[in-house]
Each structure stands twice: as C-alpha cells, then as structure tokens.
Amino acid sequence: MYRTHTCGELRAIHTGNQVTLAGWVQTVRKFGAITFVDLRDRYGITQLLFGEDLNKELEDSPLGREFVLQATGTVSERSNKNPNLPTGDIEIAISSYKILNKSAVPPFTIQDDTDGGDDLRMKYRYLDLRRNAVKRNLELRYAVNRAARNYLHNQGFMDIETPFLIKSTPEGARDFVVPSRMNPGQFYALPQSPQTFKQLLMVSGYDRYYQIVKCFRDEDLRADRQPEFTQIDCEMAFVEQEDILSMFEGLIKSIFKDVKGIDYTDTVERMTWEDAMWNFGNDKPDIRFGMKLLNLKKPGSVYTNKQGQSELIDGADFKVFDEAETVIAIAVPGCSEYSRKQTDELTEWVKRPQIGMKGLVFIKCNTDGTYKSSVDKFYSEEKLKAIADAAGAKAGDLVLILAGAEERTRKAVSELRLEMGKRLGLRKDDEFRLLWVLDFPLFEYDEEGNRWVARHHPFTSPKPAQIETMINNNPVIENAAEYLQHPYANIKANAYDMVLNGNEIGGGSIRIFQRELQEKMFAALGMDKEEQLHKFGFLLGAFEYGAPPHGGIAFGFDRLCSILGGSESIRDFIAFPKNNSGRDVMLDAPATIDEKQFEELQIKLNLK
Ligand code: ASP
C-alpha cells in the first residue's frame, strides 16, 4: 500500500497514529540537524519532520522540489501551529521514507502566484495543473458538470452520445475535416454541435436528451475562443418556448445552488432582442447596472419628428449631430465632477482603433442644477437639460454622447457603457444576473453574398404568425442597399439566448419539424433541392416519419464555469487548452504527418 492517508486529511485527533503519506515535495527546509518537508498531493499539504537519525540518509540522497516521496511516521501535534493550513496543527515525525521518483527542477514554481509566464505554463501544463489555483478551477468545472447532470437526470433527461465523425453541421463556422482512409478522397467533418443528431433523437422518441459534449469550430479565434469547446447540449420534444425557458432557468439556478450556494429566487428577466439592441446596444446586455442607451435619432420616438429629425439635437447648427446617422447618449451616475483630464482621457478611449469614434460629447449635470457641456456653443442650458433628462440623468451625473454611423456608434456606446460600468465598480464578480433575450431575427443579411443566412441555424422555426411571410416572399434581395426593407428582415424566430452578466451562456430555439417548412427554409437560404438532399436528406427524410414538435438549447460549459469562477478566461477552466492561434503548445499540434500517412490517405499536399 502506497499510503494510508492523503496529504490533506490529518488533524490533531490523529495524534499518535502511525501513517504513510505519498506525494510531491513542495519545499525542503533544513534547520541544523532536522529537516522539514512540505508534502503535497491533490488534497493538501502536510508537514513532515525528518529528525537527526535520518540526516545521513538525507545527505546521501537529498530531496528536491517535486520529488515523489513516500514517508511513514507518527502524527504529532505541532508546537508551532499554522492556522492557514487545514493540516497546520500537526506534522509527521518520519521514521522511514522512500524516494519513489526524482524530478528535474521544474521550470516554474508550483505555487498560487507562480513565476511562470503563460506560454511556459502551457508548455508544461501537467506541472501547471499541480498548482492549487488551476486545481480549484477544474474542481469547479467538475462541480458544474455534476450539478448539471443531477438536475437533468432528475428531470428525466437521458445522456446519449452522438458521433464525432460526421457530415457538416451548419452552426455558422468552418468545419474541421478528417480524411477517410477507407474512402479515399472523402472526408468526415467534426460536429460544430450535435444539432441534427439531437433532433433525430426527438424523432426517435427520446423526448428529453442531454449531453455534455465537445464541439469543434474552425473559427478565427477571437478573444477567448477555443477550436474545441464543451456544451451542455439539450433537446426536448412536445414543448413550446415557455417550457424550455422554465426547464433551463431551473438548470442554471440549480447549478448556482449546488456550486455556489446561491439561492437565485428572482424571476429571470426577459427582454426582446429589439429592446436589447436599442437599450443596451448589443444582444447580451449586462443588466447588473442601468445606464441605458438613449438613441436621440430613434425613428418614431417621441423626440423625432415626421422628417426623422431629432427635436432634441437637430437644428442647432452642430454639424456632428446634424449629419450623423445615429446619436446615442448614456447617463453615467455620479461623474459630473469629472475633470478636464478625465473627460480628455475618455475621449481618447473612444478614439482608440478598437472603438473607432471621432470624438465624445459630454454634458455635466451639476449638483447645483446647472448644466455644462463640451457643446455649450450650440446648445442652451435648457436644451442640455432636455437631453440629459431624456437620457435619464440626475443631478451629479455625466451624460456621454457619441455620434456616427449606426452600427459602429451603437457598438461603441455599448462598449463605453460596459467600460464605465467596470470603472464605477458596477460589474461585481459575485453578483449574478440572468436574462433571457427573446425574439431574435430569423435571418441575418450576408453582405458578401447579398443573401440571407440563418441567424441561429437553419433548423430554427419562424414565429408561427410569420411563417406565411417567409413562404410567400421571394428571398432574393433586389436592392442590396435596401435589404432592411425586405420582408425577411423583420421575421422573428422562436429563438432565445440566456445571458449571464453580459455573456451569452446559452442559446437555442424551437425547431421546424415539418419537411415542407424545412425545405422552404433551406430554399430561403439559397439551397436548391439537390443541395438540400445532399446535405440534409437524412433530416428531411426523418421528418416524414412522425417528427414531434421539439426544441432545445445548448449552454457553453467552459464559459459558464469561467463566469462562476470569476475569471475572464475559459482557458483557465480547461485541463489542456489551446493557445490563441489554436495550437496545443505542449503537444506541438497541429503538426505535419508522416509521408506514409499521406500515402494511405491518397492525399498530396499542394501548399500555397
Ligand atoms: N446547436 C445550437 C448551438 O450550438 C444550440 C441549439 O440550437 O440547441 O448553438
């Protein structure tokens, strides 16, 4: 037997017991004739005391950091207790020991605040994983996994595995492909998600399916994405949107409870996609704080007249506003006393290339009831007050206004809002606010191809009241500049996203389940009959054999863990992640393969 106990479990009540521990040497401290060793394993650290009698042996074969050690001795109460360590009341007076394996000097210290940089830690990830900080993240991941499985199991869901070597599933990214040796010239695709399989399982009658499953998407790796990531993937039959929403807010609340001990008793807020875009500038609003956007040129709003001019800002000869497609304001609480230096810094912030604005207009709503702005030349105090009031500003607030092209300005204000929220400490790590965003558009305009693409995926059903609009209108966009006027631009889907603290943690939809409508959908996306059959013949076929109404959702498991763990990076919650260029620096993958493998696959490289 290698050990009687772990390095984390011995306490004062064990005093006098004869024990054997095994683990890694964290530190060795020599005091004259005695030596202290901190021995570490997954469960903790225990102090070992090597007395004079073992001195010679230790000198002959000294212990080094990360040596694997087995040591036997008696538990004794420490005179000098360490209250910061669970095992800090005791130490083991060692009578015999054995070095099970030596270790080279590790390239960084295996401690919470290690001296190892990111790249080095990734290269030696197996050592990094010994660190407490990383271990805690993996423990949290496992706790989320267990909580999800418990909840779903209790709700009658069945975990069913689906294949990885498949034909393309469209989730909007490129597929990773795998050549087939037995079928030369043919390729499998790795699933971007199990989407079509889980729908087939509904046809087969497994009306509550889930899987915690790897998905593969060959995307350009924008900040914090991984080419392979994990979803909690779920599907249900005989459900409407409402059933899905309540089932899966239950899931997330149950994870909160089991993993964080949080009783999330509030009802989960809901917002339409349109409202999210107008009021927060993006489709995953962080609702831990207010600071809603006021679009001063919103068509049809109380501030805009029939000619589309904003009565609050237009006609004051301020060209920047007059000529801008969009002007958007936010009221930042308690910042009216910002100095010149601070407003200049904010102006520089919005001018950074990532934000890309030309400048920033501000109105200070002073506590004495006066208004001061960077556009005093153009607007009377009365006008400034009207703008500030409309933006919801109170005395003491600072109104920030950006103007420019619609999409860019909306994005910029949305970023500015988040930045100000962060600077003012309104985005607290330990506060969790859930939100459903509903009624997404069914289609998205693809500028490059001047065509419609599915906003979620092609299996998402339109709102029933808008099915006719989809069926009865030609998808062709005659005039690219006026695509917004096309009837398809306004069709909404039975699709929903769950948002947590400004992050999309899950998304799904009610699906199309009739062959005819699915064919119409494919056709709307520009697929002719032949392509439909080639790509999705199996699904269309299945829909002919009694497909039940169904819908589902998938949660980004890595992201959920990172938010619950209070971290910005999903990599911290993946045992063996890839770097920002999609490389595994430990394995040094991707890599070239042997000539023989190419031959077997009958593949010749033609690199450009
Ligand atoms: N398969 C979808 C996705 O990966 C989720 C769903 O619609 O259930 O986003």
3-state secondary structure 225-259: CCCEEEEEEEEEECCCHHHHHHHHHHHHHHHHHHH
Q: How far is CA 505 from CA 386, 402, 542, 559, in A?
A: 38, 29, 30, 7
* More confident: 283 or 111: 283
Stretch 390-395: mean pLDDT, rounded? 95
CA of 231 to the centre of ligand 1 (A): 9
CA of 199 to the centre of ligand 1 (A): 11
Binning pLDDT at 50, 70 and 90, where does residue 299 land? confident
Phi, psi of 190 (to 5 degrees): -85, 140
Among protein residues, the one with the nearest Cα to ligand 1's atom 4 is 193
Q: Which two tokens mark 498?
A: 């769950």
Nearest atom of ligand 1 to the alpha carbon of 169: 1
Binning pLDDT at 50, 70 and 90, where does residue 114 land? confident
Stretch 313-323: mean pLDDT, rounded? 90
CA of 265 to the centre of ligand 1 (A): 27
pLDDT value of position 568: 86
Q: Which two tokens mark 389?
A: 């009031």
Nearest atom of ligand 1 to the alpha carbon of 511: 7
Among protein residues, the one with the nearest Cα to ligand 1's atom 8 is 553
Three-state DSSP at 150 gives helix
Nearest atom of ligand 1 to the alpha carbon of 215: 4
Distance CA(326)–CA(360), nearest Å, equals 13
State pLDDT tens for residues 452-487. 999 999 999 999 999 999 999 999 999 888 899 999
Q: Please identify which residue in the block is written with the tokens 């030696």.
A: 124
CA of 404 to the centre of ligand 1 (A): 34
Distance CA(93)–CA(74), nearest Å, equals 5
335-348 burial: b if 16+ Cβ within 10 Å, else e: bbebeeeebeebbe
CA of 122 to the centre of ligand 1 (A): 30
- CA trace torsion 483, 484, 489, 495 (10° rounding): 120
Residue 307 reports pLDDT greater than 80: no
Among protein residues, the one with the nearest Cα to ligand 1's atom 6 is 508
CA of 477 to the centre of ligand 1 (A): 27
**Ligand 1 pocket, residues with Cβ under 6 angstroms:** 171, 193, 195, 507-509, 552-554
Q: In terms of DSSP H, where are the helices of 281-405?
A: 319-323, 340-351, 381-390
162: nearest Cα among 552, 428, 518: 552
CA of 187 to the centre of ligand 1 (A): 23
CA of 269 to the centre of ligand 1 (A): 21
Nearest atom of ligand 1 to the alpha carbon of 195: 1
CA of 262 to the centre of ligand 1 (A): 27
Residue 549 reports pLDDT greater than 80: yes
194: nearest Cα among 241, 225, 221, 231: 231
Among protein residues, the one with the nearest Cα to ligand 1's atom 1 is 195
What proportion of the chain, given as a percentage, has pLDDT over 70? 100
Q: In terms of DSSP H, where are the helices of 380-514?
A: 381-390, 406-423, 467-472
Mutate to test the pocket of ligand 1, among 200, 231, 245, 558 (most ligand atoms within 8 A of CB): 231
Residue 598 reports pLDDT greater than 80: yes
Count CB-CB contacts under 10 A for residue 150: 13
CA of 450 to the centre of ligand 1 (A): 25
CA of 465 to the centre of ligand 1 (A): 23
Question: Residue 341 carries which side chain, given as an amino acid letter?
Answer: K
Q: Please identify which residue in the block is written with the tokens 């769950």.
A: 498
Distance CA(283)–CA(436), nearest Å, equals 10
310: nearest Cα among 329, 297, 295: 297
Among protein residues, the one with the nearest Cα to ligand 1's atom 3 is 554
State pLDDT tens for residues 52-91. 999 999 999 899 999 999 999 999 999 999 999 999 999 9
173-186 burial: b if 16+ Cβ within 10 Å, else e: bebbeebeeeeeee
Q: Where are the beta strands (DSSP E) in 520-602?
A: 550-556
Q: Which two tokens mark 196?
A: 């079509």
Phi, psi of 404 (to 5 degrees): 160, -155
Reported as type and span, the H/E element at residue 517 is helix 515-524
Q: What would you report as the CA-atom Rg of the chain, rounded to the nearest whole angstrom? A: 30
Rounded to two decimals, the pTM is 0.94
CA of 460 to the centre of ligand 1 (A): 10
pLDDT value of position 173: 86
341 contacts: CB under 8 Å, gap ≥ 6: none
What does the H/E/C string look like for 476-524? CCCCHHHHHHCHHHHCEECEEEEEECCEEEEEEEEECCCHHHHHHHHHH
Q: Which two tokens mark 302?
A: 């109380």
CA of 508 to the centre of ligand 1 (A): 5
Q: Quote the mean pLDDT of the chain.
A: 95
Residue 417 reports pLDDT greater than 90: yes
Mutate to test the pocket of ligand 1, among 157, 168, 190, 195 (most ligand atoms within 8 A of CB): 195
CA of 193 to the centre of ligand 1 (A): 7
Among protein residues, the one with the nearest Cα to ligand 1's atom 7 is 508
Distance CA(228)–CA(181), nearest Å, equals 23
Residues listed for the chain: 608
Nearest atom of ligand 1 to the alpha carbon of 459: 7
Residue 168 reports pLDDT greater than 90: no
Q: In terms of DSSP H, where are the helices of 30-189?
A: 55-60, 118-123, 125-128, 132-154
For the chain, the distance separating the N- and C-terminal CA atoms, rounded to the nearest angstrom, is: 58
List domains and CATH numbers for the chain: 12-101 (2.40.50.140), 132-265+555-583 (3.30.930.10), 289-427 (3.30.1360.30), 441-492+514-545 (no CATH)
Secondary structure letter of residue 463 according to DSSP: P
Nearest atom of ligand 1 to the alpha carbon of 231: 4
Distance CA(66)–CA(129), nearest Å, equals 13
Residue 171 reports pLDDT greater than 80: no
What proportion of the chain, given as a percentage, has pLDDT over 90? 90
Q: Which two tokens mark 467?
A: 């099915």
Q: CB-based burial of residue 15 (10 Å sphere; 0-12 exposed, 13-18 middle, 19+ buried)?
A: middle
Mutate to test the pocket of ligand 1, among 162, 169, 171, 504 (most ligand atoms within 8 A of CB): 171
Do the beta carbons of residue 209 and residue 201 sit within 8 Å? yes
What does the H/E/C string look like for 360-376? CEEEEECCCCCEEECCC
